[in-house]
Structure 1
């Protein structure tokens, strides 16, 4: 086989005129660039630089504590701060004079919270990054384009420097990738729903479709508890059946908010709500944002299913995928409540209607007081 390969090479090269010249290995740069690159002159150094440009190790290698220590000792402001942290801060009057200098003012206000390990300065548990390394750290925080809020959350666990939040906002605003996927701002200010005082006091329902599959999505406004049911049929009767199963686990809601889908505006659904004393509120036509809680829940479900496909979990059954997503969602603290949906559940049944609704009683009293204070026309046509 070797002889045949050589013969083919000979036939291929036979069409060229060339001269054979011997070159020493140490001078043959392109032959073995990774093990022995000569650096005898500028030309060879340029070749070395071009060859090593394929590697991003030197540019993107994560910052280490040793690099930060060395950079801190070269930073004029941080060197002064490091000296004061180790030897003690001047008297208060001197600090007040020093605080007039913009460079030291952010550190003087935090002097009791500053410490050092070696030559690394820390504010609490966060490492203070020297000026010449801040751009690299911003690139590290901006990796995968997490957005302003998540970049700040990550930074607050590891690093700090004056005006860090401003620098983060600036790098995201100047990033074309981040801006291209940014959500369109609302055209008018949204009026939020009143937050319910009890679990399942008000729930929002909606249907969503993903890859040919239909899902009934229900979210509790109080606890943010989410229910997702894979539906083969979206009729009113099937919708009522699944809602009965959900209500059997978590209790009857006081109010259901939905869009004007045919499943929710049918006489059958209205009868179901009336029999169980559930107030049914429909969002205005062509204003889906009114049912914003359900719309946001639909978006969360669709994004979760998309991520599962991208992660290679599409081979799992739909029930398995939904179970994985719901377990994660229900045990994650919600940004609005600060607690997990699992911590805020409580059942409501028909017997709950026996107890007086104190909140409703108070609201009626407040409405009467407001009516009494407003000028009204009496039966004789005069103002009271």
Structure 2
């Protein structure tokens, strides 16, 4: 076993085939038919299933050794190099099963893979309990069941996807396979070409990795949901990037917010450079900033964790009931209370915008806490090690610690 080993794999619409090679000579052959469910897989899913089949069938020779893999499906070269989060659910599960193997995958034109191309076409249909299929389908169904939205919303996305002509064309390409040349792709789905290897159709919903592709008829409503927190352009983009997708979403978010009258009225003017902040503490709640602010005829207490930037507010009935005297940290220069003062301004804007819109301010604060910080996780993730559930559809796995 000191010599290099190659596994050459292929798949058709009815079967899988693999050949074990050493010194350019065949060592073993294997093939099997696809189940009814597997025959409905997207082309890239069948091809990766063929690779998984080859590794597991020849496990005695492939485990614990670097293996060269040959495939005539070029998108596989890209998908095996990407992170698991970029892959569709079925590919994720297959890639997870391949994690124990050490391999490099190389694209070989189909005309040069003669034997592997023949093997999946010469299978015998047999009825057996397919452990791989059951494992993959359980994982996919778990992803969809754990989507953080009601059954009604899930049904609505499925129904609108079935009515969307572009997404139905996309579905056919996902299942039947994309052409080799992007110039052969129709204009309506051309913008999906660059990430075609990340697309899948699961129970009527199209996913890009783990992100749900929203049908055109629901995108305006989704823009309104994304902007419930009045987070600004970049922050709203980050919020969307975490769970949903459609081509041009960033530009539409920019256009939507730049024309939103409530946000234009309360746009921040240029301010002086703030004072330098203290060092970030080692643990949550080790250092906190506290302040009292007045808004809409009410006094509020705000507390901010310096580690995670997570904040909470509480309305105060009376700020002197226990004999406390409110003294500012530095008269005539409130920026010296740094982080707390910054969040006072942010919270006041959220409260004011929510009041003008007639929306729940706590939804706005919830989305703010769930927003990814620059080069960091969100406030909720830093404090609680998990994301929070919002009105934006997302995968429930992402809500777990």
Structure with higher strand content: 2
TM-score range, shorter chain: 0.3 to 0.5
Instruction: Kindly indicate whether structure 1 or structure 2 has the higher relative contact order, using CA contacts under 8 Å at least 6 residues apart.
Output: 2
Give TM-score scaled by structure 2 length.
0.39
Q: Kindly name which structure, 1 or 2, has the bigger radius of gyration based on alpha carbons.
A: 1
Give TM-score scaled by structure 1 length.
0.40
